[in-house]
Chains A and B, each alone.
Chain A
Amino acid sequence: MATLHEYLVVAAILFLFGLFIMITRRHGVWILMGVELILNGANLNLVAFSRYGGSKFAIDGQVFALFVILVAAAEAAVALAIFLSIYYRYVKIDLDEVDTLQG
């Protein structure tokens, strides 16, 4: 039986992948993919603990993960709408060029 630690290591590596994408890339949609990877890593953590953690509130981890999926969907929709607006204005989604609010 795969241990809890192995699931946590996979989740941690997914989190680090997402973080690397968010730090390194400039394309808006790519950064959004990094955010989704981070959220999925957190979800994997939640579900792993819901199974291996204890038997009293075992289903709560999965309900939490369900809400994370839901909020991630809403956030991806709004983020893409914002990227579309940026594209209408700048004709590219290079997030380094969107700096008109910068001091």
Chain B
Amino acid sequence: MKAAAELDGKKNAEAGKYLTFKLDSEEYGLKIQKVKEIIGVMSITKVPKTPDYVRGVINLRGMVIPVVDLREKFGLAAVIDTKETCIIVVEIMKAAGIVSTGLLVDSVSEVADIGEKDIEAAPVFGGDTNTSYILGMAKLRGGIKILLDIENVLSTEEIVEIEKLK
């Protein structure tokens, strides 16, 4: 079965340390190298004419960065922020240089060391479903974590949409 899964999807995830977090009951993982810091939720200034999944902007020690609501991005129902709600600040490489973005998540779990053998290829669902943002699936202590390619999740196309809204 493993072979079949590999044939179907690409295994892009590398072994290493991943920061795991929760949205609803699903667990996700991000490469720790991309994570700059984790902060508790703070007041977010709404910015008009931005996609729904952009909650707004925050002040991070003088730097103004946008915050993406991952629940909204993944199509999950909205919930009220709790005291567990966090913003994970990630740094990704764009054409203009290194860019910081905040990800709003329900809660943060841990930094997990995921080995090569624990990673399986992303499943192919068929049809048009774009799963390019999934690096792979990791099996850890009975649960499955979805390893995300954060660059793909925040791909340029979406931000360019803002330009088109003009």
> Do A and B associate with each other?
no
Listed in ascending order, the chain B residues whose CB lies under 8 Å from chain A are none
